[in-house]
């Protein structure tokens, strides 16, 4: 492949709902550009972009796939993204390294929740956006309805460049308003006949042309003047105006096609190659230090790695964008995130698994390198003279968690290595070896996400695994003050042990004053804080430890042991063995034995006195509550709402967004276990949700009862 200058590079992310036809479109683009001689199909499992075994197995894209073509003297780097919400990580990283988003919409399904979610990503990243209403040959195809939904959602920025003649089996032509031509496919023809617009379409085509003309003129003063002056613009001028409108997101051009029949794909490619902005026409990305990094091919080289995978028959492949400079084969670069040195023995341009060596890639271009030693997704490699780091990609919070374990315990270590690697490949995985829950928890974007993880571990790494219900990180606290004392005494055989601790516990909130008298069962207990330790607990909340010993009842050297005993119990709470928080403990009296008192005695006395007091202080279990936002088409709102109410949800509010409702609720984590699956079945996959930790709240008493019983039963088993 020849060396392309930055101005001749077009980077385009193909996004859109699952099943809208992105991978099939990619196949048509690769065929049109001559990279492949025959088109494969998703059904046959032989497409260029869905080449991972798990993708062939499930029949949908799991990973984003780069494919580069040469077209009309441009180098066009497309990234075919997965449509399922579960694989959103691939969409987000692709949008960060490309300049234009091509949103594919299924003409039969219209605007879907996937369309809306991904539109939001393009909006937050200010990405130029082109809509493709695809699958026009589908019997359910309804171009007008889809176009109207887009206009309702996104206003008059939505401008058709083309419209179809006929749909379903009658889809045989398109009118291209910009070209003022009709493209007609005669049965069996691969290329369309280019015809004048027939008279019966003239009025509609002229009206759309006028709208396009106005939209194009609006984005450039000179064009506006000429338009007002002469009432028209040349095709070239219109393209300039449309490009400005596209780049500033004031125009969302709309195309139509059938990617399965490879109809109108050629025309779309022409438009993108001429009108989509090149990297130097976009705002320059900013590195961590706040420096703008222009795609200047003469500057020192800086590469941002947006994807790393282990590929069948090749091993480690790392995908990068040249943020600045020109990378050449054999370059030595430094990993700014990990400090390691890398030699780029080979750089490639790729189309799925098709790889071509590239001598050099200039700023703005996208390529791959194989067998790098120490590169992870999100790393930046720099030549001498620059030390850019780009960690501008923010991935969404996980929405689905499961505990994972190998069927054969002997594979535990290997499994943890594999999980580490997967996490490095796909940052939307969170892998946590939870000491608290005594489980390895994998959190991802949904059930599909975990299903593919299981498939890959079992088929690629040959480790059989199982997912189990993850435990809930409950917390324990108290709701009133209580007093207890405990004598630990062991004076039979060997060194004796003796320690007696009297203490008061009470619920603690920030800055709460400490009274100097407590009353229990009509008796008064005077306390005087001689030493106060406020401890921020690793698991959240506080423990306040007050030494109120008078008259040397307990020697000061035993106080740390008492605290240690109490901390042991805070770590494994008296109710269900969960972490305890927000407690003040006042040690106000005790007894020692001149010989047998030692640290272990007071640790045990402290621990047991604390347990007794804790249990008498109205102990409560706290559960993690999450803020959940569900985006759902209005017709499913009732079902979704009642399902949430069945999950002890607190509905916090609702916003309508043109046919879609955005529901906000507070839901216990315990009730969210397989929410993504339920939501998908309740709404036919037409809804999505996000969830974020909000707070810890008291569990209802019936839930507390149940948890206490479960813990008792578990204790008996062990
Ligand atoms: N009739 C018709 N079917 C199509 C067209 N494009 C894709 N399909 C079919 O729609 C299904 C989904 O196509 P894909 O290309 O996998 O869709 P996708 O957008 O890549 O889906 P994800 O990878 O899950 O995001 C497959 O069965 C395709 O054969 C089209 O233009 N017309
Ligand atoms: Mg796909």
Helices (H) and strands (E) in the chain, counts: 16, 38
The predicted structure's pLDDT at residue 548: 95
Separation between Cα atoms, residue 325 and residue 495, nearest integer Å: 74
Please report how many Cα atoms fall inside a 13 Å half-sphere around the Cα of residue 403, on the Cβ side. Answer: 16
Domains and CATH numbers, the chain: 8-281 (3.40.50.300), 302-382 (2.40.30.10), 400-471 (3.30.70.870), 476-618 (3.30.230.10), 622-703 (3.30.70.240)
Q: Where are the alpha helices (DSSP H) in 505-620?
A: 559-571, 599-615
Q: Are 439 and 456 in contact (CB under 8 A)?
A: no
The predicted structure's pLDDT at residue 658: 63
Separation between Cα atoms, residue 199 and residue 186, nearest integer Å: 19
Nearest ligand atom owner, CA of 133: 1
Residues 6+ apart with CB under 8 A from 521: none
If you measure from the C-alpha of residue 49 to the centroid of ligand 2, how many angstroms do you get, rounded to a whole number? 7
If you measure from the C-alpha of residue 23 to the centroid of ligand 1, how many angstroms do you get, rounded to a whole number? 7
Ligand 1 pocket, mutate which of 24, 108, 263 (most atoms under 8 A from CB): 24
Q: Which atom of ligand 1 is nearest to the CA of 41?
A: 29
Q: Which residues have their alpha-adjacent CB atom under 5 A from ion ligand 2?
A: 22-23, 61
Angle between helices 447-459 and 675-683 (to 10 degrees): 120
The predicted structure's pLDDT at residue 277: 98
The predicted structure's pLDDT at residue 188: 79
If you measure from the C-alpha of residue 532 to the centroid of ligand 2, how many angstroms do you get, rounded to a whole number? 61
Q: Which atom of ligand 1 is nearest to the CA of 27?
A: 15
Nearest ligand atom owner, CA of 262: 1
Nearest ligand atom owner, CA of 27: 1
DSSP string, 339-407: --EEE---EEEEETTEEEE-SEEETT-EEEEES-SS--TT-EEE-TT---------PPPP-EEEEEEES
The predicted structure's pLDDT at residue 341: 95
Which residues form ligand 1's pocket by a CB distance below 6 Å? 16, 18-24, 41-43, 60-61, 82-84, 134-135, 137-138, 258-260
Beta strands in 220-301 (DSSP E): 252-256
Residue 2, classed as helix, strand or coil, is: coil
Nearest ligand atom owner, CA of 43: 1
Backbone angles phi, psi at 494, to 5 degrees: 75, -170
If you measure from the C-alpha of residue 52 to the centroid of ligand 2, how many angstroms do you get, rounded to a whole number? 12
For the chain, the C-alpha Rg in angstroms (whole number) is 32
The predicted structure's pLDDT at residue 113: 87
Beta strands in 492-537 (DSSP E): 497-507, 517-520, 523-526, 531-536
Ligand 1 pocket, mutate which of 27, 42, 63, 101 (most atoms under 8 A from CB): 42
Q: Which atom of ligand 1 is nearest to the CA of 24?
A: 15
The predicted structure's pLDDT at residue 716: 82
Nearest to 641 by CA among 671, 668, 664: 664
Q: Which atom of ligand 1 is nearest to the CA of 135?
A: 31
- What are the average pLDDT values for consecutive 10-residue runs of the chain, which has 718 residues? 95 97 98 97 97 92 97 98 94 97 97 91 96 97 96 94 96 95 89 96 96 95 94 94 97 98 96 98 96 96 95 88 97 96 95 95 97 93 95 89 95 94 88 93 92 90 94 96 95 85 96 92 92 95 95 94 97 94 97 93 97 97 96 91 95 82 94 90 88 95 94 84
Please tell me what DSSP assigns to residue 140: T
If you measure from the C-alpha of residue 350 to the centroid of ligand 2, how many angstroms do you get, rounded to a whole number? 17
Give, using CA atoms, the residue closest to atom 11 of ligand 1: 19
Q: What pTM, to 2 d.p., does this model score?
A: 0.88
Cα 588 to chain centroid distance, Å, stands at 51
């Amino acid at each position: 492949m020849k060396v392309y200058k930055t101005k001749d590079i077009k980077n385009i992310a193909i996004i859109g709902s699952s099943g809208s036809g992105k991978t099939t479109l990619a196949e048509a683009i690769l065929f049109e550009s001559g990279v492949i001689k025959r088109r494969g199909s998703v059904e046959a499992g032989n497409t260029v972009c869905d080449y991972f075994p798990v993708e062939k197995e499930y029949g949908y894209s799991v990973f984003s796939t780069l494919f580069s073509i040469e077209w009309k003297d441009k180098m066009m780097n497309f990234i075919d993204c997965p449509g399922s919400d579960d694989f959103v990580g691939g969409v987000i990283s692709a949008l960060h390294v490309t300049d234009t988003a091509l949103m594919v919409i299924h003409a039969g399904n219209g605007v879907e929740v996937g369309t809306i979610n991904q539109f939001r990503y393009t909006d937050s990243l200010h990405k130029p956006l082109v809509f493709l209403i695809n699958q026009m040959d589908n019997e359910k195809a309804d171009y007008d309805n889809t176009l109207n939904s887009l206009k309702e959602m996104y206003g008059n920025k939505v401008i058709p460049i083309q419209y179809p003649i006929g749909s379903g089996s009658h889809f045989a032509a398109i009118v291209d308003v910009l070209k003022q031509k009709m493209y007609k496919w005669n049965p069996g023809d691969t290329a369309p006949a280019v015809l004048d617009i027939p008279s019966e379409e003239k009025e509609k085509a002229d009206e759309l042309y006028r709208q396009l003309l106005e939209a194009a003129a609006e984005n450039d003063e000179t064009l506006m003047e000429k338009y007002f002056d002469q009432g028209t613009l040349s095709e070239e001028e219109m393209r300039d105006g449309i490009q400005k409108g596209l780049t500033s997101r004031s125009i969302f051009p709309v195309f139509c096609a059938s990617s399965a029949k490879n109809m109108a794909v050629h025309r779309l490619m022409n438009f993108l190659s001429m009108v989509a902005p090149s990297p130097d026409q976009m705002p320059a990305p900013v590195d961590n230090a706040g420096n703008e990094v222009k795609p200047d091919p003469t500057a020192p080289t800086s590469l941002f790695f947006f994807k790393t995978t282990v590929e069948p028959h090749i091993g480690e492949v790392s995908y990068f964008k040249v943020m600045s400079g020109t990378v050449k084969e054999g370059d030595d670069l430094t990993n700014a995130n990990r400090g390691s040195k890398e030699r780029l023995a080979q750089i490639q341009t790729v189309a799925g698994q098709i790889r071509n060596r590239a001598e050099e890639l200039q700023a703005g271009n996208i390529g791959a390198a194989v067998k790098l030693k120490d590169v992870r997704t999100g790393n930046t490699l720099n030549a001498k003279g620059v030390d850019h780091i780009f960690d501008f990609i923010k991935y969404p919070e996980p929405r689905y968690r499961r505990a994972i374990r190998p069927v054969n315990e002997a594979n535990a270590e290997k499994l943890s290595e594999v999980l580490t690697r997967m996490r490095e490949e796909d940052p939307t995985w969170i892998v946590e070896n939870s000491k608290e829950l005594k489980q390895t928890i994998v959190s991802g974007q949904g059930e599909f996400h975990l299903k593919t993880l299981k498939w890959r571990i079992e088929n690629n790494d040959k480790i059989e695994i199982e997912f189990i219900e993850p435990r809930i990180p409950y917390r324990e606290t108290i709701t009133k003050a209580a007093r207890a004392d405990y004598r630990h005494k062991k004076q039979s055989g060997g060194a004796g042990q003796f320690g007696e601790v009297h203490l008061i516990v009470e619920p603690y909130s920030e800055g709460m004053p400490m009274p100097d008298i407590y009353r229990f069962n009509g008796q008064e207990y005077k306390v005087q804080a001689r030493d106060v330790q406020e401890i921020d607990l690793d698991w959240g909340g506080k423990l306040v430890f007050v030494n109120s010993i008078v008259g040397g009842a307990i020697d000061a050297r035993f106080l740390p042991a008492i605290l240690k005993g109490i901390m042991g119990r805070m770590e494994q709470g008296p109710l269900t063995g969960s972490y305890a928080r927000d407690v003040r403990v006042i040690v106000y009296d005790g007894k020692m034995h001149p010989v047998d008192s030692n640290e272990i005695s007071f640790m045990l006395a402290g621990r047991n006195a604390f347990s007794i007091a804790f249990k008498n202080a109205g102990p409560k279990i706290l559960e993690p509550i999450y803020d959940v936002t569900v985006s759902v088409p209005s017709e499913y709102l009732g079902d979704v709402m009642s399902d949430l109410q069945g999950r002890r949800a607190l509905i916090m509010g609702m916003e309508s967004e043109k046919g879609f409702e955005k529901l906000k609720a507070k839901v216990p984590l315990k009730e969210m276990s397989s929410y993504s699956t339920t939501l998908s079945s309740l709404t036919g996959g037409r809804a999505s949700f996000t969830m974020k930790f909000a707070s810890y709240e008291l569990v209802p008493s019936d839930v507390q009862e149940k948890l206490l019983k479960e813990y008792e039963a578990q204790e008996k088993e062990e």
